Chains A and B, each alone.
Chain A
Amino acid sequence: MTSRRIVRGLLGALVGLTALYLVAPVFIVVPMSFSDSQFLKFPPTSWSTRWFESYFGDDEWIASTLASIQIGVLVTIASVVLGTLAALGMVRGNYPLRGAVAGLVLAPVLVPYVIIGLAVYAMFLQFGLTETTLGFVLIHTALAVPYVVINVSAALFSFDRRLELAAMNLGAGPVSAFLRITLPIIAPSMITGALFAFITSFDEVVTAVFLSGPDLTTLPAKMWSGVRVQIDPTVAAVSSMLLLVTLALFSGAGITRFVRSRSGARRNPGTAEPDTVRQTQ
C-alpha cells in the first residue's frame, strides 16, 4: 500500500516536471515581451508594452504577418482538398503499389526540413519561385498534406460504407451519396486536419528562411532574422501573441468538441434501456 503511494507520488512528480518543461518557454517569453529593456533579457528588470507598440508600428512586421496569414489560409485550403482526395485513394483505392503511394504522401513528415528546404531552394531559384506566395504555398502544402491525410484516413477507415450503399439504395447517385453522407461524417476530421495544416504553414521556419527575402518574408522567418540581426524584444512580443493565437485556436476546437460530446451524452440516455420504457415517455 505504501509502496504504491510512493510510486504514485513519483509518477505525479514526473508528470509535473514534464509539464513544466513543456510550458517553460512560455514563462520566459511572455515576461520578456513586457520588458522595458533594449535587449532580450531574462528576468526583466522593468516593465512596458513598448515592444508590442513597436510591432504594430512596424510595416515590415505587419507585412510578414499578413503574408503568413495569406499563405496559411491558401495552404489550408489546398492541403484539405488534396489530403482528403489522397486519403480516399489510400483507404478505398485498389491498385498496385498502394503502400508505396501512402509512403510517398507521408514522406514530408519524415524527411528533415533542412534537406527539403535546401532542395526546394535550389529548384525554386531556377523557376523564380523564391520570395513568392506561390512558392511558399507549394512547399507548405507538401508539408501540411500528411497531417490532413492522417486525420481523414483514420475517419475513412472507421466509416461504415454500408451508409453509402443505403444512400444509393434510397436513390442517391455516387456523387450525391459522397457529398450528403460521407463528407458530413468525416468533416470533423477534415477540420482537425485543416487546423494542423494552418499551424504547420504558419509556424514553419526552416524552408521559410530559405525562401524569404526582401520581397516576401513570413512571420517566423522575420522573427528568425530579428533574433539574428538585431537582438530586439519585439520578437518576444510577437511570440507572446502567436502563443495566444495558437492557444485560442486549439482551445476553441477543444471546447467545441467537449460541448458537442456533452450534449450528445445528455441527449442519449443509453441504449441498454428496454424499448417499453422508452415508449411511455
Chain B
Amino acid sequence: MNETIAALAGTGASIDVQGISKRYRDTTALDDVSLQVKAGEFITLLGASGSGKSTLLNIIAGFIEPTSGRIEVAGKDITTVPPYKRDLGMVFQHYALFPHMDVWENVAFPLRRRKVARAEVERQVRQALDVVELGRLAKRRPSELSGGQQQRVALARAIVFRPRALLMDEPLGALDKRLREQLQLEIKRLHSELGTTFVFVTHDQEEALAMSDRIAVLRDGALVQVGTPEELYERPSSRYTAEFLGESNIFTGHHRGARFIDATTKADLAVGETGDCAGALVLRPEHAHLAAPGSDIPIGHNVLNGVVRDVIYLGSGLRVEVTLPDGRAIVSRPAARGRYTPEPGTGVLVHWHAERALVVPDHPSVAP
C-alpha cells in the first residue's frame, strides 16, 4: 500500500499567483490577487459563492484567461500555456468522469495522452486504483458507482500522471456529511503521502480548517487574509474572517488605548492590545466563561450580566446562549460538567480574560 503510494509520489511544484485580475464586461471576478503557494503545500481557497475562489482555480488550471497578472509554476511563467500542457491535475465538483469509458479507461486517459507504453499504463493505473482502493471496480462504468466511489476515481485519474500540483474544485460538495468527512481524511492522507502541492477550493470553513496547511480567504474577488488555520482562527485580521471562520461573538465599537467602548451599550471593556480606531471586538465562544451571579470573577476579566436563554448539550460540552440586557445574544461553550450549571431563564455572568478577546479594525473594504 505505502509502496504503491511512494511509486506515485512526486515533488510538488510551487505556484506563484502574481497580481491576477479577471474582469468581465461589468463585473470584476478577481481583483489583483497575489498568492505564493509553496511546493508540497496544502492550500485552501476559502470563500462564499461569488468570492472568486473557483475563478482563481480555473485560471491556474488554464481554463480561464486572466485579464492581467501572471501565473508561475515552479518558477516558470505559464500564463499563456494551454491547459493540456500544464501538467496540473484537477478534480471537479461533479467528478467529470467520462461516461462512455469504464473506470480503468478513465484513469488510463491521461497516460495514453502522454504516449506512455502499454505495460507502463497497466502498472500505473493499477497503482492509482489501489491508492484509492477501487481496484476491484476497474471494469465498472461511472454511472454504476456511488458518489464517493466516483470521486475516488476522479482522484485516481488526477494523480495517475504525477501532476506538478493537484487542483480541487469543491470536490466534496456533492457528498453527504459522513462521506465528506471520510474523504477529507483520505485526501489529507493522500497529500502527506504524495507530497504534491494541493490547491483546494471550498466554501466550507470547517473543511478548510481541518485539511489545510494554509488558508486563503477570498471575498468579492479580493484576498482578505492568508495564514495557517490557527492564525486565521486566533488572529483574524478582519471582522469578515472572524465571522467566516468558526463561531464568534462580535461587538462593534471603538478601540481606545487598552479599552474597547461598545457602540450601543457604551460598555467599557479591557483588551490586550492598545490602539485607536473604529473596529470590532471578537470573542470566541470557548473563551467566554459563565458564572453564577455574585461569584468571584478572576482578575483581568471583563464581566457582562445576562440571562441564560438556551442550553444545548453537545456531548463534548455545552453551547449556551446568553441574552444581554440590550437584547443581543452571546454564545459560550463551557464544559459539560463545570462548577456552574446554566439554567435557562436564570441570571448569569459572562466573563473573559482581556487578552482572549481580539480587536479587528474596520477596514474600508471589509466593513459590514
Please report A residues at the B interface, Cβ cutoff 8 Å: 160, 162-163, 165-173, 176-177, 180-181, 184-185, 264, 267-269, 271, 273-275, 278
Contacts and interface: CB of A to CB of B under 8 A. Distances in A.
B149 A275 contact: yes
Contact of B146 (A173, A184, A271): A271
Interface in B163-211: 179
7 contacts: A162-B96, A170-B158, A171-B84, A172-B109, A184-B100, A264-B143, A267-B140
A167 B98 contact: yes
B342 interface: no
Interface in B144-169: 144-149, 157-158, 161
Contacts of B110: 170-171
Contacts of A173: 82, 84
A23 B256 CA distance: 92
Given A184-B100, A275-B148, A169 B143 contact: no
B90 interface: yes
B96 A165 contact: yes
Contact of A170 (B144, B146, B148, B157): B157
Contacts, number: 81
Contact of B96 (A166, A172, A267): A166
B63 to A, nearest CB: 5
Interface in B53-100: 61-63, 82-90, 92, 94, 96-100
Which 7 A-B residue pairs are closest in the complex by CB-CB distance?
A171-B113, A170-B110, A166-B96, A169-B90, A162-B96, A168-B83, A168-B84
A163 B96 contact: yes
A275 B176 CA distance: 11
A1 B179 CA distance: 49
B144 A268 contact: yes
B337 interface: no
Interface of B: 61-63, 82-90, 92, 94, 96-100, 109-110, 113-114, 140-141, 143-149, 157-158, 161, 179
A168 B141 CA distance: 21
Contacts of A166: 90, 92, 96-98
Given A170-B161, A185-B100, A162 B146 contact: no
B61 A169 contact: yes
Contacts of A160: 94, 96
Contacts of A162: 92, 94, 96
B94 to A, nearest CB: 7
Contacts of A170: 84, 89, 109-110, 113, 157-158, 161
Contact of A181 (B62, B84, B98): B98
B143 A273 contact: no
B242 to A, nearest CB: 35
Contacts of B109: 167, 170, 172, 180
B146 A278 contact: yes
B367 to A, nearest CB: 37
Nearest to A160: B96
A167 B88 CA distance: 12
A169 B109 CA distance: 11
Given A169-B83, A170-B109, A173-B84, A163 B90 contact: no
Contacts of B144: 267-269
B240 to A, nearest CB: 30
A168 B82 contact: yes
B84 A267 contact: no
A275 B179 contact: yes
